[in-house]
């Protein structure tokens, strides 16, 4: 058997120094699983919410209530269940808190528990976590193509620039290891350029260089320079991706670009991004319009969805029903998958399945508040998702995920590397890796 005999929680600390929840599961066989909940800063309005204590202590962010829910409500209900049956475990969690946003138990408690059970289930089967995920999802494992942040902006850098992530992808690489080498050169070339201009000012929340720029375009220009300085031709082996995270600066069809002190309507925002797509080799773009701007997302996807991957993060919040609605609408052509937006592994796998059913790609993603937990490296691989987004190329909560992918690549029966196949849109596999 693989019966859950004990479930405990403890308070640990995330990469921003904030309290978060760790869950630990023990099975009758002695097998164990452990996981830590991450935390977002630029959260979608409809995603699962973390339960925090409020009040003056620890800035109101303590997790005593979430730990109490784990200990007093979740643990008794899960004891006796088979950890290999993730669906049944997650159904039990959802029965305790049927709210979409996990307001009763806290998404931080449910995420940590659900992921800990996933680990225990894999341990009970004696298989790597990525293999267990593939079994549960019925997918073909594939080592993901990384999306790696070079400059961090938006809510992760005190809103120094409007756009949240300026990233590179290396679809032209032949292995995960080669992606790491090329990204190393680009990341440090970008740092050298910033230092030469007297603009080096540390790093943002996810480890990308602090964006000391006077316009969003200057950040893109500098990114292209860094790629070139690293002896790569932008648009060949290396392409750019952006997380606009437009909900952070746009509501009700009005987008306020603080850095440039101007406001755009939906059409203006789409035109601006269209000019960027013409000027730079951008292959993927996340949340180009706000989470409340359905018409904008549909129009953006209609105009550019055949040449760029349009990823919904805040717009879809890892929710299968929202993915299905967006497929119907023709909004987005890929989904960002964050387990803690859904609150359980099963709901996150369901969102990925809804995307897969429509020929969409999935991007498995970390949060801006992370830890040493490497579950997402396995989830991305097991799902054969195509892309993995973790943040930048420094700070161990980021590097831990990349390093775990290198271990998976080295393991027996390692799945193949996605490479350019990671960049799919409209169900078409992109084979040229170019712009
Ligand atoms: P968050 O940002 O973790 O702060 O929400 C990540 C993202 O928007 O993709
Ligand atoms: Zn995002």
- Return the CATH number of the domain spanning residue range 137-409: 3.20.20.120
Nearest CA to 280 out of 153, 373, 163, 106 is that of 163
Residue 242 CB partners (closer than 8 Å, separation 6+): 163, 165, 166, 167, 276, 282, 284, 285, 286
> Using an 8 Å Cβ cutoff, are 403 and 372 in contact?
no
Q: Does position 427 have pLDDT exceeding 70, yes or no?
A: no
Nearest CA to 287 out of 352, 254, 332, 257 is that of 332
Taking the C-alpha atoms of residue 56 and residue 41, their distance in angstroms, rounded to an integer, is 20
Residue 41 beta carbon below 6 angstroms from any ligand 1 atom: yes
Residue 149 beta carbon below 6 angstroms from any ligand 1 atom: no
Please give the number of the atom of ligand 1 that sits closest to the Cα of 367: 3
Residue 424 beta carbon below 6 angstroms from any ligand 1 atom: no
Residue 278 CB partners (closer than 8 Å, separation 6+): none
Q: What is the pLDDT of residues 162-202, one digit of tens each?
A: 999 999 999 999 999 999 999 999 999 999 999 999 999 99
- Give Cα separations from 127 to 33, 131, 232, 288 (angstroms): 13, 6, 39, 39
Mean pLDDT of the chain: 96
**pLDDT band at 434, cuts 50/70/90?**
very low
Please give the number of the atom of ligand 1 that sits closest to the Cα of 39: 3
Distance between Cα 314 and ligand 1 center (Å): 8
* Mode of pairing for the β-strands spanning 239-243 and 250-251: unpaired
Whose alpha carbon is nearest atom 1 of ligand 1? 40
Q: What is the pLDDT of residues 353-387, one digit of tens each?
A: 999 999 999 999 999 999 999 999 999 999 999 99
Q: What is the pLDDT of residues 23-38, one digit of tens each?
A: 999 999 999 999 999 9
Q: What is the reported pLDDT for 435?
A: 32
Six-digit token string for 419? 């490479």
Find where tokens 């006796």 sit.
80
Q: What is the pLDDT of residues 306-334, one digit of tens each?
A: 999 999 999 999 999 999 999 999 999 99
Six-digit token string for 317? 């919040």
Taking the C-alpha atoms of residue 305 and residue 155, their distance in angstroms, rounded to an integer, is 26
> Using an 8 Å Cβ cutoff, are 314 and 17 in contact?
no
What's the rounded mean pLDDT across residues 82-95?
A: 98
Pocket-testing residue among 365, 368, 388, ligand 1, by greatest number of atoms within 8 A of Cβ = 368
Residue 245 beta carbon below 6 angstroms from any ligand 1 atom: yes
Residue 191 CB partners (closer than 8 Å, separation 6+): 200, 209
Please give the number of the atom of ligand 1 that sits closest to the Cα of 336: 9
Six-digit token string for 291? 């989470």
- Ligand approaching nearest to the C-alpha of 244: 2
Residue 43 beta carbon below 6 angstroms from any ligand 1 atom: yes
- In three-state secondary structure terms, 205 is coil
Q: Does position 428 have pLDDT exceeding 70, yes or no?
A: no
Element (H, E) at 185: helix 176-196
Residue 42 beta carbon below 6 angstroms from any ligand 1 atom: yes
Each domain of the chain, given as residue ranges in start order, spans: 4-126, 137-409
**pLDDT band at 425, cuts 50/70/90?**
very low
Q: Does position 430 have pLDDT exceeding 90, yes or no?
A: no
Element (H, E) at 355: helix 345-357
**pLDDT band at 423, cuts 50/70/90?**
confident
Topology annotation, domain 4-126:
Enolase-like; domain 1 (3.30.390)
Residues carrying an active site annotation: 206, 338
- In three-state secondary structure terms, 263 is strand
Contacts 24+ apart (CB under 8 A), 11-16: 11/62, 11/63, 11/64, 11/67, 12/36, 12/371, 13/371, 14/38, 14/39, 14/369, 14/370, 14/371, 14/397, 15/205, 15/369, 15/370, 15/371, 15/395, 15/397, 16/205, 16/368, 16/369
Q: What is the reported pLDDT for 281?
A: 97
Q: What is the pLDDT of residues 220-233, one digit of tens each?
A: 999 999 999 999 99
> Using an 8 Å Cβ cutoff, are 315 and 336 in contact?
no
Distance between Cα 367 and ligand 1 center (Å): 5
Distance between Cα 223 and ligand 2 center (Å): 19
Q: Does position 54 have pLDDT exceeding 50, yes or no?
A: yes
> Using an 8 Å Cβ cutoff, are 388 and 145 in contact?
yes
What's the rounded mean pLDDT across residues 119-130?
A: 98
Q: What is the pLDDT of residues 57-70, one digit of tens each?
A: 999 999 999 999 99
Strand-pair partners of 33: 25
What's the rounded mean pLDDT across residues 402-413?
A: 97
Pocket-testing residue among 167, 314, 365, ligand 1, by greatest number of atoms within 8 A of Cβ = 365
**pLDDT band at 100, cuts 50/70/90?**
confident
Q: Does position 134 have pLDDT exceeding 60, yes or no?
A: yes
Q: What's 15's DSSP letter?
A: T
Q: What's 70's DSSP letter?
A: I
Q: What is the reported pLDDT for 260?
A: 85
Distance between Cα 30 and ligand 2 center (Å): 38
Please give the number of the atom of ligand 1 that sits closest to the Cα of 205: 4
């Amino acid at each position: 058997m693989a019966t859950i005999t004990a479930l405990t929680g403890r308070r640990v600390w995330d990469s921003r120094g904030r309290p978060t929840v760790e869950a630990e599961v023990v099975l009758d066989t002695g097998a164990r699983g452990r996981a830590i909940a991450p935390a977002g800063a630029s959260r979608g309005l409809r995603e699962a919410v973390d339960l925090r204590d409020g009040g003056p202590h620890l800035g109101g962010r303590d997790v005593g209530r979430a730990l109490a829910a784990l200990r007093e409500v979740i643990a008794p209900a899960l004891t006796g269940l088979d950890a290999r049956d993730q669906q049944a475990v997650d159904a039990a969690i959802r029965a305790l808190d049927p709210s979409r946003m996990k307001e009763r138990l806290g998404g931080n408690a449910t995420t940590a528990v659900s992921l800990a059970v996933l680990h225990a289930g894999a341990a009970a089967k004696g298989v790597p976590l990525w293999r267990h995920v593939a079994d549960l999802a019925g997918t073909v494992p594939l080592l993901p193509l990384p999306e790696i942040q070079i400059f961090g902006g938006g809510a992760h850098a005190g809103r120094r620039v409007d756009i949240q992530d300026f990233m590179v992808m290396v679809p032209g690489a032949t292995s995960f290891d080669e992606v790491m080498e090329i990204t190393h050169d680009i990341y440090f070339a970008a740092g050298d350029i910033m230092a030469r201009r007297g603009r080096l000012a540390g790093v943002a929340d996810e480890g990308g260089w602090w964006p000391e720029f006077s316009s969003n375009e200057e950040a893109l220009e500098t990114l292209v320079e860094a790629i070139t300085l690293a002896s790569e031709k932008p648009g060949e082996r290396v392409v750019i991706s952006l997380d606009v995270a437009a909900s952070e600066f746009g509501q009700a069809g009005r987008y306020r670009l603080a850095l440039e002190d101007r406001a755009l309507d939906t059409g203006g925002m789409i035109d601006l991004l269209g000019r960027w797509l013409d000027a730079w080799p951008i292959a993927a773009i996340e949340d180009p319009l706000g989470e409340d701007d359905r018409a904008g997302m549909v129009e953006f996807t209609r105009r550019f969805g055949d040449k760029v991957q349009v990823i919904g993060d805040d717009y879809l919040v890892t929710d299968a029903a929202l993915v299905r609605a967006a497929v119907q609408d023709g909004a987005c052509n890929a989904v960002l998958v964050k387990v803690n937006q859904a609150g359980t592994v099963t709901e996150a796998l369901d969102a990925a399945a809804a995307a897969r059913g429509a020929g969409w790609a999935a991007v498995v993603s970390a949060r801006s508040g992370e830890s040493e937990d490497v579950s997402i490296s396995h989830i991305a691989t097991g799902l054969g998702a195509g892309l993995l987004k973790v943040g930048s190329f420094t700070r161990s909560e980021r590097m831990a995920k990349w390093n775990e992918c290198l271990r998976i690549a080295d393991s027996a029966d390692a799945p193949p590397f996605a490479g350019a196949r990671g960049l799919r849109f409209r169900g078409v596999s992109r084979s040229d890796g170019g712009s």
